[in-house]
Chains A and B, each alone.
Chain A
Amino acid sequence: MTPQALLSRVLSEDRGRLLAALISRVGNFQRAEDALQEAAASALVHWGRAGVPASPTGWLLRAGLRKAIDGYRRDATLSRHRDAIAVLAEEEAAEPDPQTIPDDRLRLIFTCCHPALEEKTRVALTLRALCGLSTGQVAAVFLDAEPAMGQRLSRAKSKIAAARIPFAVPAKEDLPERLNSVLTVVYLIYTAGYAQGPQTGIDLCTEAIFLARLLVQLAPDQPEVDAALALLLLTQARAAARTGPDGQTLPPGDQDRSLWDRSQRDEGLALLDRAIARRAPGPFQLKAAIAALHAADGAPDWQHIAALYARLRDFEPTPVVALNHAVAIAEAGNPAQALAQVRALAGALSDYQPFHAVLAELLSRLGENGPARDAYGRAIALAASPADRAFLMARLAALD
């Protein structure tokens, strides 16, 4: 294997671990990232000249520590960093190997998903630091220009240092809320991948499942973490069936269940059972339970789904959850009650395509074809993809 190929393999597998180890020792996100970057550059030179080291990750960690020392030495305010340099030199001399030192990625993910950072920044930083995406790849995920994304990431790292956002697993009293922030980022990454498909060349669904698995491994005994992975697996298990041959979203009744990934579903169900057995309910357990009912053989139990959404609204009193709740109420046989609930959301969701699609569907079920036409018109105007637009237009045409 060429040094170049080996380096990219090591970085794609171990970048998060190396970065976390460096941040925990260097004490500064930006300096650690710069040091890792420089270590990778010198790896290319040294490995080509002197041969590939026995432990490439160990080599990179030690080189990173030396680069961090150089970074501090270059700093104009050198005197302030004397202690840091001494500590790093000692670390470097001990020949640390990333395989044997504690995995610091849990601390890293809590830093990246800190609520003091904007939500988009949390997602971007997590993809960059934990999933090893390049700045250009992260920019592509958001359809942003690379320089703009670079600035966002570098502003975030400056704030982490200047405001002293801790590189730590939060204190017990803050843990539930902070864990929810982390799991929300993982879920956002998943839903972004679900919405855009693999068109950017990065499968965000796979990245999200990787992160959720990592969290299950690093933060065991957390029912919400188990449930978050369960939610992703139960959704992913049905992913292959959710679209038709032209890429349009299919209603659940039209989906081919033979395309479901049963082993993924069973793993999700086992995780959910384990989470629920701990008797500490939370929003991800409720969402996973809803996903489990959708993934059940036979018709979904809409009564039960509606009841779970009602409980989810206690944790997340958002209009989107209320909309999903209304859909479940309608499917459970109460379209009139559902319509009243949906109408109450008109102000909050006026630009949200699914709101108009649901409103149109409920109106047409209740025989109010005129208003249903108007609502389909709004939904079609807001549709994100040609396939979805075609689906809605077919529903509209079926009204006549």
Chain B
Amino acid sequence: MKYMLTLYAAPEAEPAYGTPEFDAMMGEYFGLEEKMRDTATFLAGEGLQPVATATTLRKRGGKVETMDGPFAETREHLGGFYLIEAADLDAALRYAAEIPAARYGSVEVRPVMEY
């Protein structure tokens, strides 16, 4: 079954760019796929630019409205995602627990819809 893991964190809670903690965190992210190979299969994953770069769009009555900023103003922002293939929720949760964002933010684990 496919699971989407979405990473949320408050920007100020993350290690700052340029610090040894930041480098250690990035090292963990780069090594995650390999480390978790026996738990679940990595299908896709990306980190996102800061929420200040977000544009939200909606279409009402055929007219496109755009808004500067994220869909919802929250303290913890969506910062990235993983798409994995795992046998069950236990395996997906084990994968999520190894994502650095779980330590200073949260990881939401959701099964992907099957058609």
Which residues in A have some Cβ–Cβ distance to B below 8 Å? 114, 116, 162-166, 168, 170-171, 174
Contacts and interface: CB of A to CB of B under 8 A. Distances in A.
Given A116-B89, A163-B111, 4 more contacts: A114-B89, A163-B89, A165-B89, A166-B87
6 contacts: A114-B89, A116-B89, A163-B110, A168-B88, A168-B90, A174-B90
Majority SS at the chain A contact face: loop
A364 B13 CA distance: 45
A114, A164, A174, most chain B CB atoms within 10 A:
A164
Contact of B93 (A116, A162, A168): A116
Nearest to B111: A163
Interface in B28-65: none
Contacts of A174: 90, 94
A166 B90 contact: yes
Interface size class, chain B: 10 to 19
A171 B111 contact: no
B1 interface: yes
B46 to A, nearest CB: 23
Contacts of A116: 89, 93
Interface in B67-108: 87-90, 93-94
A164 B84 CA distance: 14
B93 A164 contact: no
Contacts of A168: 88, 90
Nearest to A110: B90
A162 B89 CA distance: 10
Interface of B: 1, 87-90, 93-94, 109-111
A165 B90 CA distance: 7
A116 B109 CA distance: 10
A-B pairs with the 3 shortest C-beta distances? A166-B88, A164-B88, A163-B111
A162 B111 contact: yes
A129 B89 CA distance: 21
Contacts of A162: 111
A163 B109 CA distance: 9
Nearest to B93: A116
B96 to A, nearest CB: 11
A43 B12 CA distance: 63
B90 A171 contact: yes
B97 to A, nearest CB: 10
A162 B109 CA distance: 12
B111 A165 contact: no
Contacts of B87: 164, 166
A229 B87 CA distance: 33
Contacts of B88: 164-166, 168
Nearest to A173: B94
A171 B110 CA distance: 21
A164 B111 contact: yes
A164 B1 CA distance: 8
B115 to A, nearest CB: 10
A162 B111 CA distance: 7
Nearest to B90: A166
A114 B110 CA distance: 15
A116 B94 CA distance: 12
Nearest to A178: B90
A164 B2 CA distance: 10
B32 to A, nearest CB: 17
Contacts of B1: 164
B108 to A, nearest CB: 12
A243 to B, nearest CB: 43
B90 A170 contact: yes
A246 to B, nearest CB: 49
Contacts of B89: 114, 116, 163-166
Nearest to B110: A163
A113 to B, nearest CB: 13
Contacts of A170: 90
A166 B1 CA distance: 12
